[in-house]
Amino acid sequence: DQQRADYRARIKELLQQNNAVLVAHYYTDPEIQALAEETGGCVADSLEMARFGRDHEADTLIVAGVRFMGETAKILTPNKTVLMPTLKAECSLDLGCPPEDFSAFCDQHPDRTVVVYANTSAAVKARADWVVTSSMALELVEDLDSKGEKILWGPDRHLGNYIQKQTGADMVMWQGACVVHDEFKSQALLDLKKVHPEAAVLVHPESPESIIAMADAVGSTSQLIKASQELPNETFIVATDRGIFYKMQQLQPNKTFLEAPTAGEGATCRSCAHCPWMAMNGLVAIAEALEHGGEQHEIHVEPELAKQAMVPLDKMLAFSA
Ligand code: CIZ
Ligand code: SF4
């Protein structure tokens, strides 16, 4: 409607005035992803968001995603202003992995290489030997395992279990989970598969093992998008945040994409295939961030912490280059 169009126009103007660029995650709402594309920004997974932000010439990055993505951008480019539509956009993996507790867990296993998922606070990253995203975690753990290293993994237990099974690596696991992926239900998925026997099932490995077991392809957001292009199927059942449908449908307009079920019939779920924190990244909040910046929107990372967290982040970007 007219009001939304006005906001979009206003944001375009503000991006130019501030020499700012919009960096959006695949899980944000379609209208935000479209805006990022129209304005020369990027729509990506957390790895590519980090790389894009680091390499872009803009003075200001506006990161539409969740807090750890803004923090990562700030750590990698301390001289840029990093704004977020809201600093309240958290992540259950980050929230479920407090730095002091995680550090104590690491202290109990001094002989292990600490590998943490990007979905963590700067302080947890600072304690890690490696930071990974789901698009390169498997490869890295394979590499570490081949060198005889034992691993301490955090915080997502489903992703950790999946990698452990695939690689046979020696891993101890922090027991975190994503509120979105943890909700996919295997019986309901079986039922849906019966209705669509021709459909391929695409699964993000933050999902429970029983869901991964039914997958035709398992992978990160970018890998699932690729699978949706490469597999010959016309229909796909997708077990990840429904924000990803924007890109899948754009690349394959003639294919059909269905949400994997988050509950059986009549049941309720907390976050039905859409991350409540990703959903906070709306047009109004983006315009506000660009207009006012400041305490409500600007990301700061304590410099000493940033320096420590930068080490494993740089290793991640170099490993996956
Ligand atoms: O679940 C997430 O938050 C994901 C998939 C992040 C990312 O892009 O790696
Ligand atoms: Fe975190 Fe899950 Fe939301 Fe991703 S989808 S930001 S892992 S809560």
122-179 pLDDT per residue, tens: 999 999 999 999 999 999 999 999 999 999 999 999 999 999 999 999 999 999 999 9
Q: pLDDT > 90: what percent of the chain?
A: 94
Mean pLDDT score across all residues of the chain? 96
pLDDT band at 218 (very low <50, low <70, confident <90, very high): very high
**Cα three-residue angle 161-70-76, rounded to 5 degrees:** 90
What pLDDT, on a 0 to 100 scale, did the predictor assign at position 270?
Answer: 58
pLDDT per residue as tens digits for the range 94-107:
999 999 999 999 99
223 Cβ inside 6 Å of ligand 2: no
pLDDT band at 272 (very low <50, low <70, confident <90, very high): confident
119 known ligand binder: yes
DSSP for 34-77, please give it: HHHHHTT-EEE-HHHHHHHHHH---SEEEEES-HHHHHHHHHH-
What pLDDT, on a 0 to 100 scale, did the predictor assign at position 263?
Answer: 77
Whether the ipTM is more than 0.85: the answer is yes
CB < 8 Å & 24+ apart, contacts of 76-83: 76/50, 76/310, 76/313, 76/314, 76/317, 77/53, 78/301, 78/303, 78/306, 80/53, 81/293, 81/298, 82/53, 82/298, 82/299, 83/20, 83/289, 83/290, 83/293, 83/297, 83/298, 83/299
205 known ligand binder: yes
Quick one: average pLDDT of 306-314? Answer: 97
pLDDT band at 321 (very low <50, low <70, confident <90, very high): confident
Atom 8 of ligand 2, nearest CA residue = 91
pLDDT band at 50 (very low <50, low <70, confident <90, very high): very high
Task: With a cut of 90, say whether residue 267 has pLDDT above it.
Answer: no
Low-confidence winner among 22-36, 56-70, 130-144, 270-284 (lowest mean pLDDT): 270-284
Decide: 161 and 209 in contact? Cβ < 8 Å: yes
What pLDDT, on a 0 to 100 scale, did the predictor assign at position 220?
Answer: 97
The best mutation among 52, 134, 275 to test binding of ligand 1, ranked by most ligand atoms within 8 Å of the C-beta, falls on 134
Q: Which residue has the tokens 């890998």?
A: 223
Task: With a cut of 90, say whether residue 15 has pLDDT above it.
Answer: yes
133 Cβ inside 6 Å of ligand 1: yes
What pLDDT, on a 0 to 100 scale, did the predictor assign at position 271?
Answer: 61
pLDDT band at 44 (very low <50, low <70, confident <90, very high): very high
118 Cβ inside 6 Å of ligand 2: no
Q: What is the pTM of this model?
A: 0.96
